[in-house]
Structure 1
């Protein structure tokens, strides 16, 4: 099983590229499901096919579905919430407090992600391609399993009911699925504009912080090569393409060398023939599952040092990134550009104390002195 998550700023064409990738995989003989978790639900428009809340066949080996988060909330969460409220009331909380504690932020997004996992485990598909929402929503979505799991641990403590235990186990499984690079990877779609370089790096930093692998960047809507353009618009088109080439060069200089490219179409691509044409340009002779060759690096790597250890945290950082690092018991609290995560220290490093930290092009390097107490 493979899961490909497509995300990017709103309006960059991620839905079209997700649909094109799904169509290409099916054309190569892989049974594929394309899933939309984007509230805009434009996936059906890209296929030119009416979609609902249950998977429907678009073509041989290709199916698609638009997840209805509100229905999932009504049918799934309300029942579980009632069980959690009962458990909390039985632990001595009054009804109002129990109701407040079981209002989870982002529960509709979490249930959409849960539905993706259910489809992956129970369905007949070899590959699932997910058209996620815009980048900010996707980053929040992918952080939810760990955040909600921590929330439940703080709220319930030792008062664990069967319902809480089942939910916690499910969240742990969901987090494991998202952070297994041999199964789940992200493809970041962008347009070649000046503002995208810093944003792309911030997005990659946040995904790396969550332990979620990125296997490709796609620059969409690139103006065609000038060639023999003539007429009044030729100068404008050349200027636009020159600007885009400069952005791509800046991306390469910033470390994003393997950026796939898709040219702008004069006509909106709708339907399988148009989508397959885009997939041919995007992947050429490559297997669409293979990404663009971007290496997947482990989040944490430990190396011995003369006075202890160095812990490398593979988070790509922009030059102006705001980074905060703190020790919290056996965890490191890392905040990058407002995104925070607690990362459990490897067991061998827990007796050590932090003596310094610095950043380089590959992320953070934390120095620890061995077996000298905690800092």
Structure 2
């Protein structure tokens, strides 16, 4: 199954693009799920009366998901709540907390990509993500939350569950309850499933932007953030492109500006220009007129290879693709067996490949859209050769 994540700057037409993509795929015979993540039904007005047997539309409901999760948590923590004399919250007084919407989107993505045996399976899942800044934060959430969980509740400490009551009496302080570790373990499994979907070679991102200076800046930032997360861009849909027939008169300037941006984009992406219809697209006929492709590019993973130059230069080089990165926006920090990479407004803490953990950082350079970090083997840790 393939997953296509659609995002772009606010107002760029990403919801329209998501609907057109899903409709095209479904009409080609692909069993397609179109997943909406807005609290309001933005997909409904765009699709209008468009229908096809192979298309299913679903919207994330963070309110219901949050109430269900909190009710389950209260049930698991019943003994602790009773011990503290705390009263339970009723469903009607529960309102989602900040972050609940993002978790609901991630769960819906996991459920769509990994359906239960009794649920319908799809060939393609098209996800209408929030605008790019929020989408990038959302896509980073599973990895970051798992990191926090492992730091706060290390899995290796769960092996001593049977000793917690004894340790609590000896120490004179309450020890973490069983339900807390159980809840953390369940959450970790859910987040790991989402991470697996995002890391799958069949998961691609489709960017949407209007050609022009602001669109170019937004695409550069989005591509950089996605690359740092190891996500591959399937295509760039250029929306509201003015026809060349309008190159004369008062539209000559905007047409020329769009043409320049499109030429620059075509050097790096598979660009699909979408002609401005003169109105907001609504319904099947308008969406078909946009001619947005369905499934898109062939699947493929993003690789961060390590090349061995030890024989010539005495170093190993880790290649991290960062298209659009600028030298003055980059920062690297080695922290134990991890590398903290900052690129513009984005940051990611990545574990070092096993061979590089026995090396020291020898320098870094940005060349041809890739950050090349040099590592020199540590004589104290590297196997000695005779």
Helix, strand or coil for the counterpart of 1:188? Answer: strand
> What is the Cα deviation at residue 308 of structure 1?
2.4
1:301 matched to 2:313:
no
> What is the Cα deviation at residue 107 of structure 1?
3.1
Instruction: Find the aligned partners of 2:331 and 2:18 in 1 and give their Cα distance.
Output: 35
> What is the Cα deviation at residue 39 of structure 1?
3.3
Show the counterpart of 2:340.
Answer: 333
Contact kept? 2:364, 2:371, Cα under 8 Å: yes
Show the counterpart of 2:164.
Answer: none
Helix, strand or coil for the counterpart of 1:195? Answer: helix
Helix, strand or coil for the counterpart of 2:129? Answer: strand
Show the counterpart of 2:20.
Answer: 20
Aligned counterpart in structure 1 of residue 207 of structure 2, from 168, 188, 191: 188
Show the counterpart of 2:227.
Answer: 208
- For the pair shown, the structure with the greater C-alpha radius of gyration is 2
Instruction: Find the aligned partners of 1:353 and 1:124 in 2 and give their Cα distance.
Output: 47
Helix, strand or coil for the counterpart of 2:358? Answer: coil
Show the counterpart of 2:384.
Answer: none
Instruction: Find the aligned partners of 2:79 and 2:370 in 1 and give their Cα distance.
Output: 45
1:74 matched to 2:67:
yes
Show the counterpart of 1:316.
Answer: 323
Contact kept? 2:325, 2:343, Cα under 8 Å: no
1:140 matched to 2:140:
no
Aligned counterpart in structure 2 of residue 249 of structure 1, from 234, 240, 263: 263
Aligned counterpart in structure 2 of residue 155 of structure 1, from 138, 152, 156: 152
The 3 A distance-change label for structure 1 pair 369 and 225 is same
Instruction: Find the aligned partners of 2:78 and 2:358 in 1 and give their Cα distance.
Output: 39
Structure 2: give runs of 5+ residues left out of the alignment. Answer: 87-95, 159-179, 382-386
- Per mean C-alpha deviation after superposition, the further-off stretch among 213-222 and 150-159 is 150-159
> What is the Cα deviation at residue 203 of structure 1?
1.1
Instruction: Find the aligned partners of 1:126 and 1:296 in 2 and give their Cα distance.
Output: 17
Show the counterpart of 1:290.
Answer: 296
Helix, strand or coil for the counterpart of 2:281? Answer: coil
Aligned counterpart in structure 2 of residue 258 of structure 1, from 266, 270, 282: 270
Give the TM-score, by structure 2 length: 0.81
Instruction: Find the aligned partners of 1:328 and 1:46 in 2 and give their Cα distance.
Output: 48
Q: What root-mean-square deviation, in Å, do the aligned CA atoms of Structure 1 and Structure 2 show? A: 2.8
The 3 A distance-change label for structure 1 pair 87 and 329 is farther
Contact kept? 1:72, 1:111, Cα under 8 Å: yes
Matches within 5 A, 1:115-134: 115-122=108-115, 123-134=120-131
The 3 A distance-change label for structure 1 pair 264 and 84 is farther
Structure 1: give runs of 5+ residues left out of the alignment. Answer: 50-56, 96-102
Show the counterpart of 1:275.
Answer: 287
> What is the Cα deviation at residue 276 of structure 1?
1.8
Helix, strand or coil for the counterpart of 2:245? Answer: coil
Contact kept? 2:3, 2:203, Cα under 8 Å: yes
Instruction: Find the aligned partners of 2:139 and 2:147 in 1 and give their Cα distance.
Output: 14
Give the TM-score, by structure 1 length: 0.83
Instruction: Find the aligned partners of 2:98 and 2:144 in 1 and give their Cα distance.
Output: 10
Helix, strand or coil for the counterpart of 1:266? Answer: coil
- What's the CA shift string for 1:168-213, capped at 9, x where partnerless? 11211210110112x2110000001112223212211111111122
Contact kept? 1:190, 1:217, Cα under 8 Å: yes
Aligned counterpart in structure 1 of residue 252 of structure 2, from 238, 250, 259: 238
Contact kept? 1:179, 1:213, Cα under 8 Å: no
